[in-house]
Structure 1
């Protein structure tokens, strides 16, 4: 049933090892005991096939075709390639075959664009045979332009079947296509990118790494001791939206549904089946006839018993056309109909609770409303689009709270969280939105995605890497938190989508998604005090896009996309669920050193006599993790097992239970997340709790062309065991000199080597602060540095307290 290679762990007899109360796992800046370099790092078979397709595109296929480029030399990118300028008159059922060879180069692009007239008369698009009989995601649909995403394409080959665009015109309507083009969104370099198709770090010795895990203390992160698995181990769905067999499969792996979109116009106005449809109120143009809900059953779909009490998020989108800006912005309501749209949203949510007895705990007002494709007023310079966005969110929140007070309403469900853009202009838009909605919204929500072609992020730091997994996620969340603290508007944050924008179904495509899912999950679960929910964009299955690269299961040949699990076969995405299936427990302190903080995450948890450690290595180095005794009461591990999900020699490899004979030289490959499980003969019993608290300075996104002063006030300076100052920094081309200053008159500086090599550095610097420096009112002065922006400043302080039972931890 599983068509992808799985390497099982060894079954060697375990030796009992002596394990200290303090397990050490720390980075040494030497190569002692590291393995010898392997053979030259050659391209995988997939890499060779994609290299040939890339050469075919530029050497043959694009010749004599209109094309648009940006940049110069090796930095030149192909933006758009016109496939046809033939005029096509369309009506009824539509089928358009793309030129020969299009299928071989399609995976290099992101979109197909149709240009012409009355394209709004076209329905959903099937890209046959590659979208599996379903329709692909629409990006923009206007009368003159229809842009839609290419499906997840297989590895290119010469014998691929041609691409055929299939759709249907609205009955009685026609459309005209005058041009068909591929579009890369500016991300198709003329120089072939081979990094994704090599085994990163295989040509260098493994780095020995140590990390300290403290078994004498539990860790309380602002009151949160339990891992709170229900916040972080989610998949993209609402309860009851797939066959129960898929829900049972996910539940058995301790994952639950987390979030889904409800598209008002397709679901209620067009409808997904027979029955009455929502109509415009004949007496109130632009408003919905809300008497519809007196007759409509809005009950949520039936789910398995395990998910009936699950809290989840839903997002409203595609407000009805009769109340929206014409054709643009995926149902952006007209300003004069904000109230009507709010009343519709409130009526639907209240009716769902009334008819079905339950609804989502969190409702987002409008999906990804920070970008033009979702909120039309961002196009219109005559409007203050962000003020309108806040006004609309407030209207919806007020209407929903009036009818269903228990529901939490939030937004802006942000896309493209590059908040440093336009000299932090996008960040100021976000903070203004928070300020304008502070009295109405219950949470703020955002999306984070790794871009296409971002494997080998560490090697791309100075080559345009713009993702979030090398410090940008942490710096962004710190900046938002600092502003909320400064304005006394602290609300939970929901990450309702995260993962990768990579399309395709090759091994490297799957690996980019898998390593992104795990890395985001790991980083976000380290912030239980800030994050109330995080949902990776990972599915058990998709009946509307059955061969998506984001699904754990695809239908077997000839099977229905709506069938049970028995009619499906696993993809590599299923390994994500397996990797994390039983990671749970209470938190323990951990410390790493030597390897950049942004490159290594470590989280230990324990239950009874079991210790688990999750390690995520976002560098391009292969690591050798060394476990050694330090001090403290010895414990005996009766077994050590490692669960691995990695990429090697062009294959995604999952190893479920590697039995280790000792705790030395545990292998962790580049961009790998691994889970280690230690089982001891006696129960782990931490004696006390490390209580971690956070305090933020006022001031965010502050330019440091001149000296800047920040103040952090605390009330427990005399009780602190240890402290770190965290300074978020942004600078084009990285840091050329140390970030230096004083803390209550005591000098500090930070200039890690890894910060030198960024096109756009946005990351936190962690600076140890002597507890003897601390006062209740702390003055931090940061010295000037040309081009430097201080994104936020906060203090992490730890003190020792008594052990907490689970009743007293959040």
Structure 2
């Protein structure tokens, strides 16, 4: 009997520690932020449990989670046959970090749309993104709106009961959460913290202020507003860009810089109807310029628009980048 009691006590303690909890280190945060932060803190555990794909962010090499797979075994449904697939609670807890659900298989164009179940509402009907292919079905993350504080209040049932209902005929190979640019696995809470709270407090600092002394930066004593009001956009490009250029100019902003990318624009081509720039076989390293006439056929109209909208005295900078592959 004593052994049985000890086992029951151990099991109770284990279940307690398995419940979703929020670290006391986050006590300074608002409840809703604290609850969301606790969800982000589970990512390391999820990587140990589920198949995933991690990429590195280009600028700072942050590890980001591009794909997190459900671990659903492949299945086939006959015509009219249905199957409920419950989203694992630990994955449901972090869905807000991702862009969409991806369901892979075949037959999605030949069957009913996937339906969703929310524990507080029941079956909410068909769910999808605007794009569905026969082998790939996308569902918006915003299908489910989570209140993390309310979910944690559900205790053992937190984040459970969210489901997809699939109807045959369809073959399903897998379901996953995905993010086009990779989901960050850390939540920055510094907005709710004391600015500089992690820095050393310096004593004995004295500041002398002379209001009569006019400061300058390399001799400049006035604010050169035109240098800070240049928006990146071509003043003589696509009609929609022209509209924004006119709007910004009316607000004292200027279309002061633009980058012309030779490779993407001329060699690869944004416009499939225009001829592509190619290397001159008789003059390696140089292009055959015969295609430029087609690309610049509206040049006079663009120049006329530029002069009409911005004036002939506008200082404008055009940069060149992304040279052709040769």
Which has the higher Rg, Structure 1 or Structure 2?
Answer: 2
TM-score of the superposition, structure 2-length normalised? 0.49
Structure with greater helix percent: 2
Structure with greater strand percent: 1
